[in-house]
Structure 1
Amino acid sequence: MTKDMPRQQLTETAETVLERRYYLKDEKGNPIENWEILCRRVANAVALVDQELDDYDTIRDDFFNMIYHLDFLPNSPCLMNAGTDLGQLSACFVLPVEDSMDGIFTSIRNGALVHKTGGGTGYSFSRLRPKNSSVRSTQGVASGPLSFAAVFDAATETIKQGGKRRGANMGVLRIDHPDIMQFIVAKEDQTKYTNFNFSVAITDLFMDAVKNDLDYDLVNPVTGKVTQSLRAVEVFNKIIDLAWHNGEPGVLFIDAANRDNATPQLGDFEATNPCGEQWLLPYESCNLGSINLGHYVLEGDVDYEQLAKTVHLAVRFLDNVIDCNRFPIPEIAEMTQKTRKVGLGVMGLHDMLIQMELPYASEKGREAASNVMRFIRDEAEKASVAIAEIKGPFPAYDPEINTYKPRRNAALTSIQPTGTVSMIADCASGCEPYFSIVMEKHVMDGDRLLMVNRHFEDVARQEGFYSEKLMGDVASSGTVIGHSQIPVKWQEIFRTAQDISPHEHIHMQGILQNNGVDSSISKTINLPSAATRDDVRTAYMLGFDLGCKGLTVYRDGSRDHQVLNATTSDKANEATVSASAGLVRKTELPDVLSAKRYRLKDINQNTIYLIVCFDENENPMEVFAKFPFDNRVDLKDKSTMWTTTCRLVSLALRYQIPMEEIIKQLDRSSGHMLDLPAQLGKLLKSFMAATHHGFSSACPECSSGRLVFEEGCEICHECGYSKCS
């Protein structure tokens, strides 16, 4: 798409995401920006680095146009914080975890500072001595990496990142650490370590042992001594079993990553950022941005001339970000300035392939994708070399070790999650295929709104097969495959993530990794719910053989929980009969119920104790709110209103109304005293998200959206909520 062609207006979804998460707001929470003002703020702040250069005015305007027209978007912290007092623009960091109490708690403190500014953190716990090993200073025994991971998790829970980005972590343990078996099963219960993604750092030696059915050694990282040997196949099978169970742990191929380490003189990679696409040395950060490939198709082919211009401009933008960034701690500032790594990635890959009429899962589709990614990497290298000629290479560049041409940035490309920014750009996320082509959205009063992919709607109208009924059928089935009205050619081109085989997903990741990606790729290998453990094993082995640096698999439905009003056997039949007869019976409660109490804050920062009681199947049945200020005369009416609302919620639960439906109704209350039900709805939503009761696949922020797993993270396509970004 050339620059003189009109651009699309922001979609309703994009505006919703921007208003909720990106626009600056006044003291009452009202937005004081629009898209143009935001883009000016970001462009001006990042261009200011070059104010002494002759092309300052031009580069500032070029930065603005690139972002405003959605050709390129930087990572969320940059969009949120550039030009503000906070000024922290990096997306991800890796912090070291040393084997000492001082080192561990220094890392916890530093992680809290990072999360407060909107960044995500990666930690390797591989340096920590194993559980029950001796601690000479205290004559005691070590509690092991997992006990400290729990402390990191609790610290993250207290940091909410200003309501814009929640804390996210990657926890990594090497496959040869003595506590590896406990680590592998640690997230079998998804209510634990909820602020972490866990991944196992797998070595080539281990994979060779798996292939040859050999034992391998576990090594104490402090003493360097072998503690025991395990059969590699059995350990690998346990990783596969847990990944099949709920997608965790992921796998990181650490030797493959270190072979591409651009600065080996500074140390080895130990960990990645939360979604796995950015391998970083301790204290490094990375500044990420993505080119919208859907904007670079002209008459069915890639407009390489325009793409090259954007690549050069984007590299300069990301390099400038390093210099205008306000880093959370001095160690990060020093290390980032030393290597000046950037992560230029892509989004809208599927949009590009659709416009080229190439199926994502085809050989030609992969070839086109790899050609574009290689071109981006080559042009990024040229841009970085050109900047180095003016500003100098990255300070850690050593011509005796670094054999490549002097450049400004030690690393240039990665493919990161673009969940929320791709919603702004109205394109497919990262290098993922679209998750759905027609989505059904429920709006006020129970109405149904169909959200049709713009490319699909254009094709359907041009080819004459568009109809409201067909769009509804596609939404209901979740796929374009098998609808006779849709020509087979377009069924193939519009295959979604679930319609593409794991083999084809991994081949796309592998060909991109080996053709232009310096660091790694955040991508989810989607498996059908009926997938077997052997399917997971095949995926991991293929990913390793193709040179991938990490892999995340997700079996459809493996993280979903039962709905709240599920009942068993006779009770279920009774409920069905009652409903069919037009009668819904109130559940009788026993004299004793189990309960959980949560201390929360209302919008005025008053402490509220929320108590939720459960039946024997852990279905919420009653809700109470308790206030420290119950006896205050000035708050008596407020306390009464809370009590009344809780009684109504409890009554609704006993009549088997799902909690998510109750929350939706509470959220619609507003104005004066009616703000209290809305506040209760938000508190209950927080409770449900924190405890994973009832509807873990429902968005904990907007309730109406459903969470999908892509790019290594859960995301809501309706409001932009993401667990990781």
Structure 2
Amino acid sequence: MSTATAAHPPADTSRPDDTASLQVIKRNGTLVGFNPAKISVAVTKAFLAVEGDKAAGSAHIHDAVQRVTEQVIHAISRRLKAGGKVHIEDIQDQVELALMRAEEQKVARAYVLYREEHARERARHAPMEAHPHLTVKQANGDTVPLDLGLMKLQVEQAAAGLEGIDGESLVEDALRNLYDGIAEEDVLSALVMTARGRIEQEPDYSSVTARLLLEQLRMETATALELPRSLPLAEIYPQALNAFIEAGIHYELLDEALAAFDLERLGAAIKPEQDLQFGFLGLQTLYDRYFLHWNDARLELPQVFFMRVAMGLALREDNPNERAIEFYNLLSSFDYMASTPTLFNSGTRHSQLSSCYLTTVGDDLEGIYGAIRDNAMLSKWAGGLGNDWTPVRALGSHIKGTNGKSQGVVPFLKVVNDTAVAVNQGGKRKGAVCAYLESWHLDIEEFLELRKNPGDERRRTHDMNTANWVPDLLIERMREDRDWTLFSPSDVPDLHDLYGNAFRERYEHYEALAEQGRITMFKKIPAKQLWRKMLTVLFETGHPWITFKDPCNLRSPQQHQGVVHSSNLCTEITLNTSADEIAVCNLGSVNLAAHIRDGELDVQRLEQTVSTAVRMLDNVIDINFYAVPQARNSNLQHRPVGLGLMGFQDALYQLGLPYTSPEAVEFADVAMEQLSYFAIRASATLAGERGAYETYEGSLWHQGTLPIDSINLLKEARREGDLSVNTNARLDWAPVRELIAKNGMRNSNVMAIAPTATISNIVGVSQSIEPAYQNLFVKSNLSGEFTVVNPSLVRDLKAEGLWDNVMVNDLKYFDGSVQQIDRIPDELKARYATAFEIDPRWLVEAAARRQKWLDQAQSLNLYMAEPSGKKLDALYQLAWERGLKTTYYLRSLGATGAEKTAPVAASQPQVCSIDEPDCEACQ
């Protein structure tokens, strides 16, 4: 950092009423009087280090210095009473925070570098603080005294800028877990584990743990890439990028094309300060499952990882360096996150970046086993799968070729189940597939029982998912208490491709043929009986999910090109499939919580995020590695993408809104309209630059029908009173319509809200559109078990003076619920109601507001603490009435809650089993 002094006098920051009696604790323990002018000088030096001495005296620097200095003084005086004492490190933490809040990123980075450099300089010149008893064994085999000073320095740096961290006791507790002769690298591991155990008492320990883990990663990566281990992260990053690209290409992990980038320019663009955003769960997840490695040694640091992903997505750009920096800035800011396959594979030699694949299975052995082979190939490269099995003839149907009888769908689904287990997405996570069957299929009753425990194990599929593909006509028949007829598709093949009124007419025609004896393979049952069985099995097993065929097709922009026969693994994708076409979707999610500023949605920031995100998603289509040709042909023809969102619950916390409120439903509407507006406009803008997708002509887009307009198509197909949807709009959509008419659309489909189970962990926000599961729990996933405490709740409880050990104990006892803790105000009880404390109808209402803006669907989990047949019936009928296209899991306490015993209740948070592997397969 420059040591030049300010060319103008520091701003007058004296505040005798607030700070005159404050004292500063220096690093050597001595006390001096608080001098605000020193803050002004330090901030000015930070600006001059970035702007250069020539900028001295500029009005910009003067004003910025004054604003930041006043923020620091205000923060300190607010925290301390007159006559209080503040440590010099705390003052520097506040300077750093003020610079970040002022969005002076470069200056903040310079200030962080300055602090790191001086801390290491002090450490180098300080005499070693040897532990009186403990020794450590170095990598070369030498035994030396344990350096307490180094441990203290590591904790001090990890706690910078955070409140409520007791570094001294953290070191003391870590020492209790050490033994004489411990390996040198295990000392830092002890600090990590000790800090991890404190997260439930203070959420900021999650950041401390992450930073200690980051220090471990720095040393591991430096060794693997043969870089100096002594360099701080800020200095090692530019070198690490260059060394990583070279090593990755040498080990045949990376695409050789990455070497053509201007690595010096990209290295200089890396922002080490973005590492400070990580919580422990996020960084540990990246460490365990995302960072590229060789011989079990990680080759990537977090910002190198994001730059590698950005470079991979920018390979085909006209200006790849500029675009890579743009993409990196978006990813590293956590404003947007690409899906897991994109993060896994971008820039690698097998860049399978797409999230999910949808297939239709043909009605012969070649088609069936061809589909199973396709499942294996697609799963190998980390794709989630949705299979449409409706065309396969039912049990007992005649087989002309052999003059025998079919065994139906179920035996083949057992093979699909075992294939998903065997081909586990490159060893990074379990394979995941969902089978869809229309509700008129003669095998539907046996299909409903695939996930049940009792019965013949040869006809059970415990490792795969199932979903009902429900026509509107079944709901109508159920409501009228009429019969429903089941057929074999070999007798009624065209029903598979029909929907709306055309389906109704043809279905009734086949029923007439059955009555006449011209169709003999059929079964007539009360529609209510089938509907009740669907709901009963859904409650018992969580499957099959209920998805609605007609809304998916009637509102599909691509209905001129085919039929939507199923959704995907997570029920958010609605794309056409056929025997010759495997639908592909490419996903990514906007972090909605990051776009709340000063109590409202930051529309300008959202616009920038969405514009870049859509470009990144469109790039995936051309760069993608396709394991089967049907997927490549489909994706290049139609170019669908699925931009979604996450952090909805966190956004509500920032706005002070309970999920169960009309205001929250309105916010879901407002936010989704803005996102939809910008996403559709971005795709149309890209069409002007790159051309419209091949099958644009004839689409709803081409006809001038946007998602909000397509509701009318569904309304026309429904009976009066069967559709009740809010169709209000707030924005002027005329400019978007005009842009589409001029340019067309680059992508056949633009939006889909995925579960974001893993990428939301990385970013550190609530999953997708989910309500909070609990306010304190242990999250279990493939990376281990992690204590999760709701930081927003802790912040609000601290403001009320209610956060203490007793509160932590109460939250543990009540399984993360605040409802039975008397001293918590009612307002906070409403705001922090958890998933099973929310009337699920609010989830449906918010989802309905989003659905009107979406050209695809959303992964909508529904939670019910005490399910009953009546409640389930009302809830799923409400979802249908509100025009939802799909639903996802039904969660009930009986199915997902951990067994609670008296001795454990007061000492262990409840374990969350919601983060199932299949939830992660798309994102």
TM range (shorter): 0.7 to 0.9
1:238–1:468: structure 2 CA closer, same or farther, 3 Å change rule?
same
| 1:251-286 deviation digits (Å, cap 9, x = unpaired) | 110101001111112211111111111122220110
| Contact kept? 1:173, 1:200, Cα under 8 Å | yes
Q: What TM-score comes out, normalization by structure 2 length?
A: 0.59
| Counterpart check, 1:194 vs 2:462 | yes
| Counterpart check, 1:212 vs 2:480 | yes
| Counterpart check, 1:556 vs 2:878 | no
Out of 825, 828, 835, the position equivalent to 1:497 is: 835
Instruction: Give 1:338's aligned residue.
Output: 637
Cα separation, 2, equivalents of 1:289 and 1:184: 32
Instruction: Give 1:351's aligned residue.
Output: 650
| Contact kept? 1:502, 1:525, Cα under 8 Å | yes
Instruction: Give 1:292's aligned residue.
Output: 591
Instruction: Give 1:463's aligned residue.
Output: 800
1:463–1:392: structure 2 CA closer, same or farther, 3 Å change rule?
same
Instruction: Give 1:34's aligned residue.
Output: 301
Q: Helix, strand or coil for the counterpart of 2:777? A: strand
Cα separation, 2, equivalents of 1:707 and 1:562: 8
| Counterpart check, 1:309 vs 2:608 | yes
1:101–1:493: structure 2 CA closer, same or farther, 3 Å change rule?
same
| 317-326 or 151-160: bigger deviation | 151-160
Out of 703, 717, 725, the position equivalent to 1:403 is: 703
Instruction: Give 1:263's aligned residue.
Output: 558
1:562–1:349: structure 2 CA closer, same or farther, 3 Å change rule?
closer
| 1:578-611 deviation digits (Å, cap 9, x = unpaired) | xx9xxxxxxxxxxxxxxxxxxxxxxxxxxxxxxx
Q: CA deviation at 1:321?
A: 1.0
| Contact kept? 1:93, 1:280, Cα under 8 Å | no
Q: Helix, strand or coil for the counterpart of 1:49? A: coil
1:26-105 paired onto structure 2 within 5 Å: 26=294, 28-50=295-317, 52-53=318-319, 56-105=320-369
| 1:480-503 deviation digits (Å, cap 9, x = unpaired) | 223222221122112221121121
Q: CA deviation at 1:383?
A: 0.5
| Counterpart check, 1:714 vs 2:916 | yes
Q: CA deviation at 1:458?
A: 1.8
Q: CA deviation at 1:171?
A: 0.6
| 1:177-210 deviation digits (Å, cap 9, x = unpaired) | 1111111122222983133211111111111001
| Counterpart check, 1:435 vs 2:773 | yes
| Contact kept? 2:777, 2:910, Cα under 8 Å | no
| Counterpart check, 1:426 vs 2:764 | yes
Cα separation, 2, equivalents of 1:455 and 1:335: 44
1:217–1:3: structure 2 CA closer, same or farther, 3 Å change rule?
farther
Instruction: Give 1:653's aligned residue.
Output: none
| Counterpart check, 1:412 vs 2:711 | no
Q: Helix, strand or coil for the counterpart of 2:888? A: strand
| Counterpart check, 1:203 vs 2:471 | yes
**Counterpart amino acid of residue 382 in structure 1:** R
| Counterpart check, 1:535 vs 2:871 | yes
Instruction: Give 2:131's aligned residue.
Output: none
| Counterpart check, 1:126 vs 2:421 | no
1:258-657 paired onto structure 2 within 5 Å: 258-282=553-577, 283-399=582-698, 402-404=702-704, 405=740, 406-439=744-777, 451-477=788-814, 478-514=816-852, 516-528=853-865, 530-559=866-895
**Counterpart amino acid of residue 458 in structure 1:** R
Q: Helix, strand or coil for the counterpart of 2:913? A: strand
Q: Helix, strand or coil for the counterpart of 1:397? A: coil
Out of 141, 156, 166, the position equivalent to 2:430 is: 166
Cα separation, 2, equivalents of 1:31 and 1:114: 26
Q: Helix, strand or coil for the counterpart of 1:346? A: strand
Q: Helix, strand or coil for the counterpart of 1:323? A: helix
Q: CA deviation at 1:431?
A: 0.5
Per residue, is there more helix in 1 or in 2? 2
What residue ranges of structure 2 are gaps of 5+ in the alignment?
Answer: 1-100, 106-272, 493-509, 515-521, 705-739
**Counterpart amino acid of residue 335 in structure 1:** S
| 1:75-120 deviation digits (Å, cap 9, x = unpaired) | 1000010011121001100112000111111111111000000001
Q: Helix, strand or coil for the counterpart of 2:560? A: helix
Instruction: Give 1:607's aligned residue.
Output: none
**Counterpart amino acid of residue 315 in structure 2:** L
| Contact kept? 2:860, 2:886, Cα under 8 Å | no
| 1:613-657 deviation digits (Å, cap 9, x = unpaired) | xxxxxxxxxxxxxxxxxxxxxxxxxxxxxxxxxxxxxxxxxxxxx
Q: CA deviation at 1:320?
A: 0.7
Q: Helix, strand or coil for the counterpart of 1:490? A: helix
Q: CA deviation at 1:229?
A: 2.3
Q: Helix, strand or coil for the counterpart of 1:550? A: coil
Larger radius of gyration: 2
Cα separation, 2, equivalents of 1:526 and 1:241: 15
**Counterpart amino acid of residue 796 in structure 2:** V
| Contact kept? 1:452, 1:471, Cα under 8 Å | no
1:724–1:76: structure 2 CA closer, same or farther, 3 Å change rule?
closer
Cα separation, 2, equivalents of 1:154 and 1:449: 30
1:535–1:449: structure 2 CA closer, same or farther, 3 Å change rule?
same
**Counterpart amino acid of residue 498 in structure 1:** F
| 1:194-238 deviation digits (Å, cap 9, x = unpaired) | 332111111111110011011122232122255232210010011
Cα separation, 2, equivalents of 1:62 and 1:275: 30
Percentage identity across aligned positions?
27
Q: Helix, strand or coil for the counterpart of 1:280? A: coil
| Counterpart check, 1:177 vs 2:445 | no
| Contact kept? 1:293, 1:348, Cα under 8 Å | yes
Out of 535, 538, 542, the position equivalent to 1:240 is: 535
**Larger relative CO (CA 8 A, sep 6+): 1 or 2?**
1
1:231–1:85: structure 2 CA closer, same or farther, 3 Å change rule?
same
| Contact kept? 1:434, 1:496, Cα under 8 Å | yes
Q: CA deviation at 1:451?
A: 3.9
Q: CA deviation at 1:2?
A: 8.0
| Contact kept? 1:247, 1:552, Cα under 8 Å | no
| 421-430 or 402-411: bigger deviation | 402-411
Q: Helix, strand or coil for the counterpart of 2:344? A: helix
Cα separation, 1, equivalents of 2:818 and 2:611: 38
Cα separation, 2, equivalents of 1:434 and 1:280: 30
**Counterpart amino acid of residue 703 in structure 2:** T
**Counterpart amino acid of residue 486 in structure 2:** L
**Counterpart amino acid of residue 916 in structure 2:** E
Q: CA deviation at 1:17?
A: 0.6
Cα separation, 1, equivalents of 2:399 and 2:553: 31
Cα separation, 2, equivalents of 1:365 and 1:400: 33
**Counterpart amino acid of residue 489 in structure 1:** E
| Contact kept? 1:166, 1:724, Cα under 8 Å | no
**Counterpart amino acid of residue 519 in structure 1:** Q
Per residue, is there more strand in 1 or in 2? 1
Q: Helix, strand or coil for the counterpart of 2:489? A: coil
Q: Helix, strand or coil for the counterpart of 1:206? A: helix
1:371–1:465: structure 2 CA closer, same or farther, 3 Å change rule?
same
Q: What TM-score comes out, normalization by structure 1 length?
A: 0.75
What's the RMSD between the two structures over aligned residues?
A: 2.7
Cα separation, 2, equivalents of 1:398 and 1:536: 42
Q: CA deviation at 1:407?
A: 0.7
| 1:445-498 deviation digits (Å, cap 9, x = unpaired) | xxx996422222222222322112112212321212232222211221122211
Out of 116, 126, 130, the position equivalent to 2:380 is: 116
Cα separation, 2, equivalents of 1:561 and 1:486: 24
Q: Helix, strand or coil for the counterpart of 2:297? A: coil
| Contact kept? 2:357, 2:584, Cα under 8 Å | yes
Q: CA deviation at 1:411?
A: 0.7
Cα separation, 1, equivalents of 2:788 and 2:910: 13
Instruction: Give 1:222's aligned residue.
Output: 490
